Amino acid sequence: MVAYSPRLARLIESLRRLPGVGPKSAQRMALHLLDRDREGASFVARSIDEALEHVGRCPSCRMFCEGGNCLYCSPSRAESGQLCVVETPADLLAIESSTPYRGRYFVLMGKLSPIDGIGPEELGLSLLAQRMGGDRVSEVIIATNPTVEGEATAYYVAEMARAAGLKVTRIAHGVPMGGELEYVDGSTLAHAFSGRQTLGA
Amino acid sequence: MVAYSPRLARLIESLRRLPGVGPKSAQRMALHLLDRDREGASFVARSIDEALEHVGRCPSCRMFCEGGNCLYCSPSRAESGQLCVVETPADLLAIESSTPYRGRYFVLMGKLSPIDGIGPEELGLSLLAQRMGGDRVSEVIIATNPTVEGEATAYYVAEMARAAGLKVTRIAHGVPMGGELEYVDGSTLAHAFSGRQTLGA
């Protein structure tokens, strides 16, 4: 074991809390910050403190927002009557960055997973039911992940939307663009095959 | 472009200052900290602030140290009379973690590189000369990297040590353990060949 001075050791330990950062990267980051970018280091510390203090959850869509001013709940987004249900903030950002969709969202902050004690309450599904009922929603777009839990969640949300008399759609799953049939896994290919669509004449 | 709320955008931007962190990782880290590990986030911020405030340079070996109490300059380390010269704190830590060497160090914090304006002054070589002269040093072990600049630095430091009448050694360069001759690059192999050592009977 290498002996670090106590505060350097703490800094390395704390950086390991970041996702994807192991002991080697944490040491490299700590030495870089102390040796070459002390200004950047205090920028990181200040940004974290400010974000912790000011970034909260939007009470309507559950995405991160600041000062009650949610970027994804603006009135212009309500026009289409569409509401897209995603699992996480990262999923919302992925849709925003790659698709032209500019409707409203609902972020579940997880997926149904009874084994981990995550049920409809934890996902705020009563809030979602309220929004489906009273928020001029005409179509619910389900964009949960195609995992076992994601599919279960999709099924549950679809039932809710149908009960509220709304149109329900699910984003397509199939062979990814640029992928080759030969190398795509069997379950994706089976999904793509059974989900085939009629081409226009 | 995705629209982030301003403080979330700043947090992501600041995390990109960490080495090896691109836009995707920075977003992932920021969302992770805000969503799942707010305690970890403030731990990171506090550790950075404390390290910036308390971690300085040892005036003798130039390694990071706290409160004038250098781990690598303790009296027990002086006994062997050896002084190992390395380029960076990371190099020192690598030697500490993999070798039994527990002598003293001198961290250059760089290497001779006239193109980047790094000369003997920037590397604290006058301080190194003082230590060679007065610090009960008998052997200087040069452990700079086997790059062009590292070799130039090694040459310069070796000349200084010889001028001070000290024994100079350089860590061995050759075929890495577990490596195969067939796949080792030519210059490493040539180095290993010319640096061959006599085996005992």
Assigned domain for A132 exists:
yes
Q: Looking at chain B, which runs of residues are DSSP E strands? A: 55-57, 64-66, 82-86, 104-107, 139-142, 167-170
CATH number at residue A31: 1.10.8.420
Per-residue pLDDT, A176: 86
A88 and A150: one domain? Answer: yes
A78 and A21: one domain? Answer: no
| Angle at which helices A38-54 and B6-15 cross, to 10° | 150
Nearest to B51 among A34, A40, A50 (CB): A34
Put simply, the answer to whether A30 touches B7 (Cβ < 8 Å) is no
The residue segments making up the domain with residue A123 are 74-170
Chain A residues within 8 A of B28 when measuring between CB atoms = 19-20, 90
Assigned domain for A181 exists:
no
Assigned domain for B30 exists:
yes
B64 to chain A: nearest residue by CA? A5
B64 and B113: one domain? Answer: yes
Which of A28, A31, A44, A122 is the mutation pick for testing B, counting most B CBs within 10 A? A44
Per-residue pLDDT, B29: 95
B139 falls in which pLDDT band (50, 70, 90)? very high
In tens, the pLDDT along B49-72 reads 999 999 999 999 999 999 888 999
In tens, the pLDDT along B95-112 reads 998 888 999 999 999 999
CATH number at residue B153: 3.40.1360.10
Per-residue pLDDT, B201: 62
Assigned domain for A53 exists:
no
pLDDT at A152 over 90: yes
pLDDT at A85 over 90: yes
A31 and A83: one domain? Answer: no
B17 to chain A: nearest residue by CA? A40
Shortest distance, CA B137 to any CA of chain A (angstroms): 23
State the amino acid at position A198 in one-letter form: T
CB pairs under 8 A between A and B: 182
In tens, the pLDDT along B29-42 reads 999 999 889 999 99
Nearest to B7 among A45, A55, A109 (CB): A55
A33 and A84: one domain? Answer: no
User: In the predicted model, what is the mean pLDDT of chain B?
Assistant: 90
Assigned domain for B101 exists:
yes
Put simply, the answer to whether B31 touches A89 (Cβ < 8 Å) is yes
A18 and A91: one domain? Answer: no
B53 to chain A: nearest residue by CA? A7
Per-residue pLDDT, A107: 95
φ and ψ of A68, to 5 deg: 70, 15
A108 falls in which pLDDT band (50, 70, 90)? very high
B20 and B105: one domain? Answer: no
Per-residue pLDDT, B190: 86
Per-residue pLDDT, A65: 92
A16 falls in which pLDDT band (50, 70, 90)? very high
Distance CA B154, CA B175 (A): 20
Chain A residues within 8 A of B34 when measuring between CB atoms = 51-52, 55, 64
Kindly tell me the sign of the dihedral angle through the C-alpha atoms of B111, B57, A34, A26.
positive
Segment B163-179 mean pLDDT:
89
B157 and B78: one domain? Answer: yes
A32 and A95: one domain? Answer: no
B1 falls in which pLDDT band (50, 70, 90)? low
* B55 DSSP β-pair partners: B66
Distance CA B144, CA B151 (A): 7
Number of independent structural domains in chain A? 2
SS3 of chain B: helix, strand, coil, percent, to 5: 50, 15, 40
Assigned domain for A107 exists:
yes
Assigned domain for A52 exists:
no
Per-residue pLDDT, A183: 86
> Buried b / exposed e across B116-130, counting CB within 10 Å, b at 16+?
eebebeebbbeebbe
A92 and A146: one domain? Answer: yes
Put simply, the answer to whether A11 touches B37 (Cβ < 8 Å) is no
B71 and B32: one domain? Answer: no
A80 and A163: one domain? Answer: yes
Assigned domain for A17 exists:
yes
Segment B80-107 mean pLDDT:
92
Shortest distance, CA B43 to any CA of chain A (angstroms): 6
